[in-house]
Structure 1
Amino acid sequence: MNDRSALRWDLLMRYRLIEIVAQWEGRLTTNHLTNSFGIGRQQASKDIQSYLTKIAPGNLVYDKSLKGYTPSAKFVPKLTGGNADEYLHILSRNKDVVHTFTGLDLAFARTEILQLPIRPVDPKVIRSLVQAAREHRRVELGYISMTSGVEERILVPHTLVCTPQRWHVRAYCEKHREFRDFVLSRFRGNPEILDESVHDVEKDIDWNTEVTIVLAPDSRLSEVQQDILAHDFGMIDRKLHVKTRAPLVTYMLKAFNLDIDKLDADPLAQQIIILNRAEITRYLFKK
């Protein structure tokens, strides 16, 4: 059984932690579960046995010398992707919550997380946007822009979007009569929920358009350097196909540290290039 929809959320999270810790640390104990989820040792032991019985028989073996479970030779992730990022994200989250909770019983706890300054967002703004998106309604609220200052906007939001630099909301703007991105930290005042709107997510053509960005190592680099980059990014035949929504193309390129206007810069600076630049140019900087 590996149908996530059939599992309770809390149990799924415990099963996922079992897989991640076992795969990336090589030793799983009941302490990982008791410290992370506030459950007793007996329940933690029951969860591990349940995982082995219902989810992944044979994935783990108990090592008496280590006093814990280790991944077997035939270990295969069932509820996780088997990616290092899953473990590394747990390390970062562990540091985030350590001031409130005891923290996870992870073997490698020395991590340093580069954190950007937190942009202040009013809770009532989030609540109104979430309600309006859920109920397909219009919402009136103040928004400050770099060109117009603070002015009242009537929006029809449909999706909250997280980029490496900030959170924003994708919404239909009645002033501009089109779907745009609005930075959450720039909303002002007290939002007012209005009536329903026909401008839902299905009407956002750009949002529903999938774009593929094709990346490759800069050809000006040496063969060895290109092979290193291809391995770093998991490229196949020195190409990486990145799929995203049309309005998110610019954000995706920024995440790769790519500047569409500086492709002739020092090859060691950007290291990778866009192969299908002409195809994606129409989607850049459209907000």
Structure 2
Amino acid sequence: MTRRNSAPKERFEAIEILLLWEGRVSRSRLLDLFNIHETLASRDIAGFRAEYPDACEPDSGSKSYVGSWSLRPTLTRGTFDEYQRLIGAIGSLDAVSAGVAVESIQVDATSIRHPLFAQIHRAMRLGRCIRVLYRSMSNPEAHERVIRPHSLIQTGPRWHIRAYCSKAEAFCDLNLGRISAVSASEDAVLPGLDRDVDWHRIVAVRLVPHRDLSAEQARMVREEYMGGTAATVFNVRAPIAKYLIQSFRAAIDPERERAPEHLLMVYQPEELPAVADIRRL
């Protein structure tokens, strides 16, 4: 992510957002986000602590400050989209300069509270296991799972975490919006990122015009999506492929998924690994 210039007010808001959603803030984290000198980053944190002394406390084990139990949104609304904008996961229309009116239908459908996310973020950062209350389409009642999360996945309006799950006895993707409680699981020992073979596997997803399109329609689609070439190819992690295919509404089974509802289709989907199957979403 490109560091950006900022005003003091924006950096104070960023400090609060980081404390809420990541559970901690440090000089180095501010330097990741903003194009400022380290002296100014230290001054910002000191100024924030002076203004809001109950918001955070020093972490003796690192050069950072952790959110206190009494931390509440004061400068911000405490919503997940604020965190997304801060880390650059979604753009802001305020930064768009098109010379004409611009509107966007980009929305966020992830409903999760910052205390839960902060615990998940900490577990990923430290490589630890946690217990979560989770709901799924196959089991919509809240049930406990012990997981070891390692990565965040943004999939359009939703967010997932990639984790090893003791219940599934495998690595899988869990919808952040379906987690209702998080607690530590210090005694659990589960595989981590280095054991997630599918995550480290890069696959090529090749999208082509749907075979039902006329020659003229196919040429238009190639110009729109592929710069006039025969196909567009994305090299992505194997578990990410299904989300990419879904975002383009590309047909996996062109006999059943017909045009014009589907303008694109996946070329030779049978060559993709099972973890990339969109029907497993």
TM-score range, shorter chain: 0.5 to 0.7
Q: Percent of aligned positions with the same letter in both sequences?
A: 24
Are the structure 2 counterparts of residues 206 and 281 from structure 1 closer, same or farther at C-alpha, using a change threshold of 3 Å?
Answer: closer
Q: Distance in 2 between matches of 1:286 and 1:268?
A: 24
The equivalent of 2:192 in structure 1 is 200
Distance 1:261 1:273, change over 3 A: closer
Q: Note the C-alpha offset of 1:244.
A: 1.5
Equivalences, count: 199
Aligned partner (choices 203, 211, 225) of residue 217 of structure 2: 225
Cα distance, 1:190 vs. partner? 4.1
Cα drift, residue 273 of structure 1: 1.9
Q: Write the mapping of 1:206-245 to structure 2, written as runs, cut at 5 A.
A: 206-235=198-227, 237-245=229-237
Q: Deviations over 1:2-34 (max 9, x none)?
A: xx9xxx93359xxxxxxxxxxxxxxxxxxxxxx
Paired position in structure 2 for 1:56: none
CA shift for structure 1 position 203: 0.5
Larger Rg over CA atoms: 1
Secondary structure of the residue that 1:154 maps to in structure 2?
strand
**Cα displacement string for residues 209-253 of structure 1 (whole angstroms, at most 9, x for unaligned residues):** 111111111244333322221111125641111221111222111
**Partner secondary structure for residue 214 of structure 1:** strand
Distance 2:95 2:246 in 1: 32
Cα distance between partner residues in 2 of 1:225 and 1:186 = 40
Per-residue CA deviation, residues 50-95 of structure 1 (Å, 9 max, x unaligned), is xxxxxxxxxxxxxxxxxxxxxxxxxxxxxxxxxxxxxxx9x9612x
Shift of residue 267 of structure 1?
Answer: 2.8
Q: TM-score, normalised by structure 2?
A: 0.61
5+ long unaligned stretches in structure 1: 13-36, 40-88, 95-102
Q: How does 1:46-65 map to 2 (within 5 A)?
A: none
SS of 2:92's partner is helix
Task: Give the C-alpha shift of residue 171 in structure 1.
Answer: 0.3
> CA 1:202 to 1:117, structure 2 compared with 1: closer, same or farther past 3 Å?
closer
Aligned to 2:122: 131
Q: What 5-or-longer segments of structure 2 have no aligned partner?
A: 7-33, 37-87
| In structure 2, C-alpha distance between the alignment counterparts of 1:206 and 1:274, rounded to whole Å | 20
Structure 1 position 142 matched with structure 2 position 133 = yes
TM-score between both structures, scaled by the size of structure 1: 0.60
Q: Does structure 1 residue 191 correspond to structure 2 residue 183?
A: yes
Give per-residue Cα distances to partners, 1:147-194, cap 9 Å, x unaligned. 331111111000010001310100000122110111101111242252
Structural RMSD (CA)? 3.2
Residue in structure 2 matched with residue 111 of structure 1 by the alignment: 102
**SS where residue 241 of structure 2 aligns?**
helix
Q: Which residue of 2 aligns with 1:168?
A: 160
